[in-house]
Structure 1
Amino acid sequence: MNPMTPRASMTPEVITYALPENASGSDAFYHDVSQLADELLETTKGEKAVSDFVSFTAEHELELMSNQVYVLEFLMIGVLWRSYGKQAAAFHLRGTSLLTRIYRLRSKGKQQREAVNRVKGFLNTTVLAKAGTTELNIHPDHFGKLIRWLAATGEFEEECKRLNIWKAYLLSKPLNESISFLERAIRLTDWFERRSVIVLGCYTPNVDSFREHHAQSLKWKENLIFCTRGRVEYHLNMVGAELMNRAFRDCFLQTKEKKVLLPICMRLRGEIGCRAVRVEDGYACTGCVKECQVNQMTVLGKEKQFQVRIIPHASTAFEQLDDRRKGEIGIIGIACVLQLISGGYKAKSLGFEPQCVLLNYCGCARHWHPDGIVTHINLNRLKSLLES
């Protein structure tokens, strides 16, 4: 386990986003995000692309998901286009598929991870984060260019898998219909960006200032692009997590076995440090600190019949399930905002039935704070997801 001891705080520093620490305050967040998800579904009601995409996936025998997920992906296309169009327009690096394979080596061990991160930090600073002066043309070919840029960053692996299916869908349509599709996705993003600031902006007060103040210190770092993602992407992930929870909930409740996977930044260590023990699928809490939420969740798990596992890194959270076990294990992933959508996609693709709970704030030493801040969740939210 990481020997660094995060500091605990009753009023944690707001680094980028924060939900109120008291239960009623974070309950208000979940009410607000549910309201915005409802507004998004109402705004896109009758969107022809969503119903057409259902037919396309069925015709090509692709994995079928719910309309809620397809609405999320329709919005995601516009958000990523708006957020990274200028970077993608200026992008000319070849060998994106090779980079994707190289990035996967990070999960093979410490030495490989350090070497890959050096390459990633160099490319982030010299190539990928540099924006051009022009936007992408609204054209399916340029949608492909955006996907190549996203893949080259190593931050959107799961999203790119989904976007490539949408790209195939667009290429199956007449050019004028494809262009109209992209224009509608971008218009939806303009609405969402304005509306999400009104509904969720109080929870993301420091995103812009963090990006501005850390622009120089993040240069040459492998997490440059991850840590400088915009406010609208925080709001997209918040709403996306709500929609995914709704879409996957019935399957989750039907699973035979349930696990809660949480990050190491949640550990509250005593004088002797965290005494969690290594097990096959992560680390298991031994109850060394009564006040630690990991301990509290572990006690709850014994009562409610679910396992709790501490996961050192998101890349080690899941392994491909045997076909015979697919659909039998439900997981509740606990993560900070920017990992919610990708984590949901990855869990689903590997055969798990996912739900998620948002960390009340970010605080890990790897990305957000030099000393690390112990993070928390709304335990009421966790309990509600476990109830049928």
Structure 2
Amino acid sequence: MNDSVLFTETRLGPFTLKNRIVLPPLTRSRSSQPGNIANDLMATYYRQRAGAGFMVTEGTQIEPRGQGYAWTPGIHSAEQIAGWRTVTQAVHHQGGIIFAQLWHVGRVSHTSLQPDGAAPVAPSAIPAQQVSVFIETGPGAGALAPPSVPRALTTAEVKELVQLYAQAARNALEAGFDGVEIHCANGYLVNQFISAHSNQRDDDYGGSLQNRLRFLREVVQAVADVVGKDRVGVRFAPLFATTDEARVYLGLVEEDPHTTYVEAVKILDQIGIAYLSIAEADWDNAPELPEDFRSEVRQNFSGRIICAGRYTAERGARLLNAGLADLVAFGRPFIANPDLVERIANNWPLTPADPATMYGGTDKGYSDYPVYHEPACQK
């Protein structure tokens, strides 16, 4: 068996994790329609991967306006809460620990996905560029379209959204989740408030960096007040790039990610949340996080740090041994390898994921990936 640091126990909030391998949020678009309801197929999928020391669900929208892709689940209706309870029970039966990721896409949506065909909501009426969304609402592969032009939220509506996050956290507890992660990354709503590119407001939520971080602070505090700060995580995706074109990430530009996210991390540490998840760019030739940024994040955050990106077991272990992270998340490898923990432990080969079955559909390419069986010994 592998004696890597990945297989040592660690604490995360009130929980003792059996290993440091994380199933991160992975949108798979398998919820039941109508209603975007978590279902038995999803319960099977998560149960199969409960060997992870820690699990976070795919993004689950906190309200109907928070949806940006077809067939993604929500956590704002009674039926959705009941559906997620099936998932949490399946995971807990396997001894797993699972948080719900609370998600609002903001402007990264389309009128066909919005209530009554209305415009998506955002900090400012600036459309997202260089990104597409799935707008097909029935079974199938989905149709891609550019996001619709959003409308700017009023100050009163921003404050109402803070309370919608808090209500979604209550719903997550009712559904049996062990805690929640707030999606503040990848160009979605909280991230849109943080970025000066997408946030051109002139009220208390726009202008200076501290004002642009106000929505983050209020959302995290409101959620922590509901579930307890030691059961809350936040996900960021700081993008360090050298050209203007590369800095556009899901329609959002980060002008100074180092300063922006160090200040954001300080806010999270003041609130005292359990963990910070940093999603690193994972495409070919993507920029890596600078070492000075990693070090400064560690210096300013006393909770657990999860790293996610193009990690192998060896590269993740090196980061843990260097003290720059506490857990490592494996996204694509977990899609095609439900027994990923055992495969890493035994140095077994990994099955590649099928891109054609990534989003939407049936159990094919979702819950039908096999576990590994060692070849029979030849006599």
TM-score for both structures, normalised by structure 2: 0.24
Give 1 or 2: higher strand fraction.
2
TM-score for both structures, normalised by structure 1: 0.24
Give 1 or 2: higher helix fraction.
1
Answer 1 or 2: higher relative contact order, Cα 8 Å, separation at least 6. 1
